[in-house]
Amino acid sequence: MKIAIVRLREAGQISNFRVPDDVTVGDFVVVEIDRGLDHGEVMEILPIVQESDKTAGERASRDILRKFSESDKKQIDDNKTAAGDAIKLCSRKIRDYKLDMKLVDAEYSFDRKKIIFYFTADDRVDFRELVKELAKIFKIRIEMRQIGVRDEARMFGGVGPCGQSLCCVRWLKTFEPVTMKMAKTQRLSLSSGKISGICGRLMCCLFYEYATYKDLSRGLPKEGSAYDTPKGKGKVVSVNVLKRMVYVQLADGIVEKVCLGCPPGRPGEDCPVDGPCQKNTEPDDSSDAEDNGPETK
Per residue in 72-107, pLDDT (tens digit) is: 999 999 999 999 999 999 999 999 999 999 999 999
Reported as a single tens digit per residue, the pLDDT across 114-168 is 999 999 998 999 999 999 999 999 999 999 999 988 888 888 888 888 888 888 8
How would you list the strands of the sheet with 28-33, edge to edge? 14-18, 2-8, 36-47, 28-33, 64-67
195 with 187: CB under 8 angstroms? no
Q: What is the mean pLDDT of residues 232-248?
A: 89
Q: Do domains 73-147 and 220-281 have the same CATH topology?
A: no
Q: Residue ranges per domain, the chain?
A: 2-68, 73-147, 151-216, 220-281
Sheet holding 114-120, edge to edge: 102-108, 114-120, 141-146
pLDDT at 38 over 50: yes
Report whether pLDDT(287) > 50: no
pLDDT-based confidence at residue 241 (cuts at 50, 70, 90) = confident
Do 244 and 225 touch, CB atoms closer than 8 A?
no
Candidate ranges 169-173, 192-196, 286-290; pick with highest mean pLDDT: 192-196
Q: How far apart are the C-alpha atoms of 38 and 8, rounded to whole Å?
A: 7
Top-level class of domain 220-281: mainly beta
pLDDT for position 292: 38
Q: Is the pLDDT of residue 56 over 60?
A: no
Span 205-229, average pLDDT: 88
Find the angle CA(260)-CA(276)-CA(246) to the nearest 5 degrees: 30
pLDDT of residue 19: 84
Query: Tens digit of pLDDT for each residue in 173-208?
Result: 788 899 999 998 888 888 888 899 989 999 999 998
* Predicted confidence (pLDDT) at residue 59 exceeds the cutoff of 80: no
Quote the pTM value. Answer: 0.67
pLDDT at 282 over 70: no
Question: Percent of the chain beyond pLDDT 90?
Answer: 35
Is 2.60.120 the CATH number for 73-147? Answer: no
Q: What is the CB neighbour count within 10 angstroms for residue 165? A: 13
DSSP structure string for 37-99: EEEEEEEEEEE--SGGGHHHHHH--SBEEEE--HHHHHHHHHHHHHHHHHHHHHHHHHHHHT-
